[in-house]
A = this chain, B = another copy of it.
């Protein structure tokens, strides 16, 4: 960055004014955005509302050594939008809480907001408010997202029924392997700062880690197909953990077929290079922000040819347990080894 302006030079209100100037409001439900004690919204008739919040902490959820602030901003919005997608909703507004250590410049914070601005544009979301404050440590980003969903059509985790098909969008494991690449390069660079990190070889898995997308496209496509999932969740902690959530909250079991798990070729190549089992990466990697959902067997024809949806198994009675079925046909209980925050 060419300019470095200390935060205390513009102050909290100055920073808010600078951010306010970059914000465009698009949603008909937004009456008043940034600049008052609260934003004012006009909920749309016939719509329920969904609300979710996520914290991203420097050193826990992102590492500024290898993650550009613009990507951090984009990802912070995308992972929140992903929660709305997982309810079958469409995002409408976000509010942003930001705690910033003294080492950050105005330009750095503007770069972070630029990432959020691009994400808001892509997902048609209005940034309507926030709170910006000093922190004693690193950067903390707190985003709360609001979305809307036609009355009664929000999809919970708890609606899966035996014989429903278990589906995932996109492919899995990429975000986790992207993180492995970044951590290896960081370790190498820490040992020898003269080294140039080798990142150009891994565009796919790095993009999956640094700049994930919420699957709003699939939410809209399912609506167009007339498919309402019986249950849905987004894959943040890892597929295994999310399958267990759906089964626990629906009171069911499930069978997941390892053969059906979708991985992209670059993901398989990196797994091979790191000597990691690609199945484990897909099951427990986390942070893919794909959707895991169930549909009635009768919807099979509607989704079977969808290029971005893979049927990975089916729901069973609870007594059958939650099982992973290997290529050889052996069933083993599915276990979650996803992110442990504590």
Q: Interface size class for chain A?
A: 35 or more
Complex Cα gap A57–B55 (Å): 13
Complex Cα gap A144–B133 (Å): 15
Residue of B nearest to A156 (CB): B36
Smallest Cβ distance from A237 to chain B, in angstroms?
9
Say whether, besides A57-B133, A134-B341, A38 and B142 are in contact (CB < 8 Å).
Answer: no
Within 8 A of B (CB), among A3-39: 6-8, 11-12, 15, 31-32, 35-39
| Residue A41 at the chain B interface, CB threshold 8 Å | yes
| Residue A333 at the chain B interface, CB threshold 8 Å | no
Complex Cα gap A12–B241 (Å): 13
Residues of B with C-beta under 8 A to A52:
37-39, 95, 129
> Are the C-beta atoms of A40 and B48 separated by less than 8 Å?
yes
> Are the C-beta atoms of B57 and A131 separated by less than 8 Å?
no
Residues of B with C-beta under 8 A to A342:
6-8, 11-12, 15, 100, 102, 134
Contacts A41-B48, A41-B50 aside, 16 further interface pairs with beta carbons under 8 A come to: A35-B157, A36-B157, A38-B83, A40-B48, A40-B50, A51-B129, A53-B131, A53-B144, A54-B97, A55-B97, A57-B140, A60-B99, A60-B135, A100-B342, A132-B341, A134-B342
